[in-house]
Chain A
Amino acid sequence: MFLYLLQQLVNAISYGSILGLLAVGYTMIYGILGLINFAHGEIFMIGAFTCYLYVKFLKIPWFIAALLAITTSVIAGLLLEKIAYRPSIKKGSSVLTIFIISFAASMFLRYLFMLFFTDERKAFPIPAFFEKMYFVNGVVIGLRDIIIFTTTIIIMIAISYFVKYSKLGIAMRAVSYDSKTANYMGINSTLIIKTAFVLGSVLAGISGIEYGLSFGIVNPSMGFNPGLTGFIAAVLGGIGNVPGAMVAGFIVGIGEVLFVAMLPSIYSPLRPLFVWVLLFFILFLKPTGLFRPNVKFEGGWGE
């Protein structure tokens, strides 16, 4: 039993890494624009799915395909910002309207891919190099798991430093808090917002590829569940708080996998329940999430 859990822990850490990257992307975009980009899960899907397409149909070598896939994610993110979000924000649309637009964008991207490729599950190309496995004390650890975890940790450390110490990072946090005043400082808020989208999309793209490597299967609707879970992790980590989202991503990911692992297999479909129950409890005890959020609360509720 213990060995089984240990094995599941390996999977859990990979899944936690994937969610962590997604959560950071969500939190960055929410932090800077005050909007929940529901289409973020689709950017994740685009990273994974286009990598598959580039390898399978364009016969591009895997590593280059991966880079192209991440670039495609970034382009998708920028288009989303330009077409779906910026016009409505400029017009001063209500939060609800933008919420609906974000949802619609998510559906649009998902169904667009389904139109061309159906929702059939495809096998994600895994380079032979990644298939290596290690046997450690009865537990199987794939090279992929190690690479996924290491890549994620490196990215997270880099982003933490970037957000906290770099000029651009501080500017992003300033724009998150008050984009109007940031303009008065000479910061081009629109450019900073685009940068946040680029960064968030890079993370989502990488996360998608990691998912493909870890689970081996990609399809157009793959973004829905991880996207939602990633969003929940972002909320749990204190919305707008980047390190918070990273930690929360791991907590949620590891928790979800271990939760299902410990239940009899009949209860496996209840897997999503874990995340929602966790969200409920943590918000009940700490409404703003585990860590300090990074958005200006304009008049709280009875503060």
Chain B
Amino acid sequence: MLLSMDNVSTGYGKAQVLKNININIEKGEIVALIGANGAGKTTTLRCINGVIRPWEGCIRLNNKEINSLQPFELVSLGISYCPEGREIFGNLTVFENLKVGGYLVKKRDKLNSNFDWIYSLFPILKDRRNQIAGSLSGGEQQMLAISRALMSNPMLLFLDEPSLGLAPVVVENIFATIQQINSEGTSILLVEQNVILALDIANRAYVLEKGEIRLCGECKELSRSEYVKNSYLGII
């Protein structure tokens, strides 16, 4: 088991957002976390990342408890976070953004091979490598954000709403690349509002509603479930 959240509850201040969350991720999987706005998806990621602490429950990475770690410590343990809204460093160039992503990579040749890997996944980033990141298009910024997260060679990559605000063609391209990244060995936790995309690409999914796991299972089954079809896919 790569990552496990056992009976985790948390919130902000006095407001409880998550109740008894149980999520598992196995090595090599793409696991989707889907739900409406405000269901608690980003909160879940923030909790694993150490931005907020669990009130109850335990989060384990490779069977080691990580409840009380700081966000920056998780990168060296193999978790990388691609935040909602991209959050690229708009004042730095594409190259510098990637370099920041690879901040903890000590060996120069490893860093260079990471750059080569990124450039092969997203050739346009190579073309634009000396461009100021703030001037990139939305799709390019998303590619940069994902690549930046990959520069640290994570075991587990968190993608927070990668389709947000992007044109369908661009999204298709990015999601194809996400699958490729997974096939090359990176496990992925995907938070997505776009349920169709999420169920299409992931192995398993958890449906989050008002801070609780409503459903979980293999994506093939979930996309056939009446409940999911009614509530999330608009199919009556």
Q: In the complex the two chains form, what is the Cα distance from A176 to B89 in whole Å?
A: 9
Closest-by-CB residue of A relative to B76 is A186
Asked whether, in the complex, the Cβ of A173 is within 8 Å of the Cβ of B104, the reply is no
Given A177-B89, A186-B152, also A167-B99 (CB < 8 A): yes
Asked whether, in the complex, the Cβ of B75 is within 8 Å of the Cβ of A184, the reply is yes
Closest-by-CB residue of A relative to B74 is A186
Residues of A88-139 at the interface with B, using a CB-CB cut-off of 8 Å, are none
Main secondary structure of the interface of B (DSSP, over half): mixed
Residues of B within 8 A of A (CB): 49, 51, 70-72, 75-76, 80-81, 83, 87, 89-92, 96, 99-101, 103-104, 148-149, 152
Q: List, sorted by A's number, 9 A–B pairs whose CB atoms are closer than 8 Å.
A: A178-B89, A182-B100, A184-B71, A184-B80, A185-B72, A187-B100, A188-B70, A188-B72, A189-B72
Given A170-B96, A170-B99, A170-B100, also A185-B152 (CB < 8 A): yes
Chain A residues within 8 Å of B96, by CB: 170, 173-174
Asked whether, in the complex, the Cβ of B103 is within 8 Å of the Cβ of A187, the reply is yes
* Interface range, A side: 20 to 34
User: A6-23 CB contact bits vs B (8 Å, 1 = yes)?
Assistant: 000000000000000000
Chain A residues within 8 Å of B101, by CB: 185
Asked whether, in the complex, the Cβ of A184 is within 8 Å of the Cβ of B83, the reply is yes
Q: In the complex the two chains form, what is the Cα distance from A174 to B91 in whole Å?
A: 8
Chain A residues within 8 Å of B99, by CB: 167, 170
Residues of A within 8 A of B (CB): 167, 170-171, 173-174, 176-178, 180-189, 294, 296
Q: In the complex the two chains form, what is the Cα distance from A187 to B103 in whole Å?
A: 7
Given A170-B96, A181-B83, also A186-B91 (CB < 8 A): no
Q: In the complex the two chains form, what is the Cα distance from A240 to B90 in whole Å?
A: 14
Closest-by-CB residue of A relative to B75 is A186
Q: In the complex the two chains form, what is the Cα distance from A182 to B89 in whole Å?
A: 9
Instruction: Known pairs A177-B91, A181-B87, A186-B152; list 13 more (Cβ under 8 Å).
Output: A167-B103, A173-B96, A176-B91, A177-B89, A177-B92, A181-B89, A184-B149, A185-B75, A185-B101, A186-B75, A186-B76, A187-B100, A296-B90
CB distance from B71 to the nearest CB of A (A): 4
Asked whether, in the complex, the Cβ of B92 is within 8 Å of the Cβ of A170, the reply is yes
Asked whether, in the complex, the Cβ of A184 is within 8 Å of the Cβ of B104, the reply is no
Chain A residues within 8 Å of B152, by CB: 185-186
Q: In the complex the two chains form, what is the Cα distance from A81 to B159 in whole Å?
A: 35
Chain A CB within 10 Å — which of B71, B83, B90, B99 has the most?
A: B71
Chain A residues within 8 Å of B89, by CB: 173-174, 177-178, 181-182
Chain B residues within 8 Å of A182, by CB: 89, 100
Q: In the complex the two chains form, what is the Cα distance from A167 to B49 in whole Å?
A: 24
Q: In the complex the two chains form, what is the Cα distance from A114 to B148 in whole Å?
A: 51
Asked whether, in the complex, the Cβ of B72 is within 8 Å of the Cβ of A171, the reply is no
Q: In the complex the two chains form, what is the Cα distance from A185 to B96 in whole Å?
A: 12
Q: In the complex the two chains form, what is the Cα distance from A25 to B101 in whole Å?
A: 27
Asked whether, in the complex, the Cβ of B100 is within 8 Å of the Cβ of A294, the reply is no
Closest-by-CB residue of B relative to A189 is B72
CB distance from B47 to the nearest CB of A (A): 14
Q: In the complex the two chains form, what is the Cα distance from A191 to B152 in whole Å?
A: 20
Q: In the complex the two chains form, what is the Cα distance from A174 to B89 in whole Å?
A: 6
Asked whether, in the complex, the Cβ of A184 is within 8 Å of the Cβ of B90, the reply is no
Chain B residues within 8 Å of A188, by CB: 70, 72
